[in-house]
Amino acid sequence: MNPQVQILVERYFDSEQRRVILPSGSIVLQQNGYNDRLYYVKAGELLGQFCEKEGKPITVFSASAGAFIGVHSFFSGHWIASSTVIAQTEVELGWIDRQTPVVDEALFGSLSSQFMPVIVAELSRRQRRAMQEAVAKEKALERLHIAEQMSTLGQLAAGISHELNNAIGVVSSKTERLESLFIELLQEVHPEASQFFDFGLLYGQKVSSAEARKRGAQFARRYQLAPHIAREL
């Protein structure tokens, strides 16, 4: 513990008259409720929650032995708690209020001056919390932006797929029609060639274009064929 804070604890929070023990579940401070006390946690665990109108309570801090509760409402002078503080376990608290005598004011200054390290620590804690919330919000917005981009991309892909399917459907139907016409024509003109046409429909080209060119060149040399005929073979 900071030596300055340790001195403050000894000066103001060792009095048995300003000591309270509360069971688990006790509400120490109520958000927007009146508070003119500064609490020092001697033992136990507490939770601070903030709730917007008709919203779900959000945990904003946790406190254990060595923490101060009510710093903002006590030293700001408006005596209104900014959050609800609930005991998570049985807690032992020391406290001071507006009527608590200032110890050696002439030597150490006013109560606010003496508790300046505590006030600064509380402001630092709130600043860190605000920064963490800002970072978390920025990350959430980034994830949302990426999700929106992916959603837009998915919609675009679905649209392109639909258009391609329409085009492919037309090509497929026309191809089937051409296939029927070719078969009818072959059966009328060259019935003996229809088996080769059927073979081509079933198996198509089974080699790469480069391999087809290579074999075509071999056929052209071996059988003295024109290049385009050898390529077709």
Residue 103 sits in the same domain as residue 128: no
Token digits for 168? Answer: 């492919």
Q: How far apart are CA 63 and CA 29, in angstroms?
A: 13
CATH of the domain at 55: 2.60.120.10
Q: How far apart are CA 87 and CA 91, in angstroms?
A: 7
- Which one, of 204, 206, 203, 201, lies nearest residue 180 by Cα? 201
- Cα separation values, 38 from 4, 35, 66, 206, Å: 17, 8, 13, 86
Q: Rounding to the nearest 10 degrees, give the CA dihedral for residues 6, 10, 12, 17.
A: 140
Residue 12 sits in the same domain as residue 94: yes
Please say if the pLDDT value at position 205 is more than 70.
no
Classify residue 153: in a domain, yes or no: yes
Which range has the worst mean pLDDT, 14-18, 98-102, 195-199, 223-227? 195-199
Classify residue 204: in a domain, yes or no: yes
Identify the domain boundary among 114, 131, 157.
114
Give residue 4's pLDDT. Answer: 83
Residue 17 sits in the same domain as residue 54: yes
Give residue 153's pLDDT. Answer: 82
Token match 């198996």: residue? Answer: 203
Classify residue 103: in a domain, yes or no: yes
Classify residue 185: in a domain, yes or no: no
pLDDT in tens, 75-99: 887 899 989 999 999 999 999 998 9
Token digits for 79? Answer: 């005596």
User: Helices 116-189 and 3-12 meet at what angle, rounded to 10?
Assistant: 120
Domain of 131 in residue numbering reads as 115-175
**Residue 108 phi, psi dihedral angles, 5° rounding:** -105, -10
Q: How many residues does the chain have?
A: 233
Number of domains in the chain: 3
Token digits for 15? Answer: 């009095």
Question: What does pTM read for this prediction?
Answer: 0.58
Query: pLDDT grade, residue 168 (50/70/90)?
Result: confident
Residue 97 sits in the same domain as residue 124: no
Token digits for 164? Answer: 């391609």
DSSP per-residue letters across 83-110: SEEEESS-EEEEEEETTSPPTTHHHH--
Give the whole-number percent of the chain exceeding pLDDT 90.
28
Token digits for 129? Answer: 């919390």
Give residue 206's pLDDT. Answer: 66
Q: 19-22 and 91-97 as β-strands: parallel, antiparallel, unpaired?
A: antiparallel
